[in-house]
Amino acid sequence: MEGFGNLLAGYRRFRASKLGGEQQRWKELAEGQSPRAVIVACSDSRADPAIIFDTDPGEIFVVRNIANLVPPFETGGGRHGVSAALEFAVTQLNVAEMVVLGHEKWGGNGPALTGVFYGAAAGEGGFVHKWMSQIEGPAEAIAGEHGTGEDAHRRLEEVSIRQSLANLRTFPFVAEREKNGTLKLLGCHFSIRDGELWLLDEAEDRFRPV
């Protein structure tokens, strides 16, 4: 319970220092939300979009998963958690921006590059492998040419951002809104070590520091 005790201590600090002075704001949020952007981010505990972009509650709608991946649009079987969240953000909340936020050294990188979980059973890495199989092809190509070190990691991180942006555009409700100018798509990479954000310039297909 020690870990949960730390969480409860954080809750008490929130009640004492943040909630008290913003009661009206929380009452407004209780009536609904109107975030400007949806951010597809990694579940990694070191790369919290709310901290990176210094946002307040209600400003961003965040979808987090291993390796900030967006699967392509499909209507077959399965529980499409990411797709459902994107659909809600775009069609119901009418967000103006969609951001794919990657970061350095995410946990799925190693398994994707080494194939360590290939063929593993559920509960032993099988779920991770199935999810990461979305970028299995690029991962194998990168590992074959660049190994599995830091350079390979960065290359795969950037590939995952590009692929997620491409997959976002397979969703009709995303493509339509991007075409008519009511929705903008962006790709970013966050360096945990340097605290630096890099923005993808899609016209030149290269990441530039912000």
72-103: per-residue pLDDT in tens? 999 988 889 999 999 999 999 999 999 999 99
Other beta carbons within 10 angstroms of residue 170's beta carbon come to 13
Q: Tell me the one-letter amino acid at 2.
A: E
> Taking Cα atoms as reference points, which of 102, 100, 65, 86 lies closest to residue 171?
86
What span, in angstroms and rounded, lies between the C-alpha atoms of 69 and 149?
Answer: 21
pTM value > 0.85: yes
Instruction: Give tens-digit pLDDT for 150-182.
Output: 999 999 999 999 999 999 999 999 999 999 999
What span, in angstroms and rounded, lies between the C-alpha atoms of 180 and 2?
Answer: 52
What span, in angstroms and rounded, lies between the C-alpha atoms of 49 and 199?
Answer: 14
Mention every residue, 6+ apart, whose C-beta is less than 8 A from residue 173: 87, 90, 91
Helix (H) / strand (E) element for 93: namely none
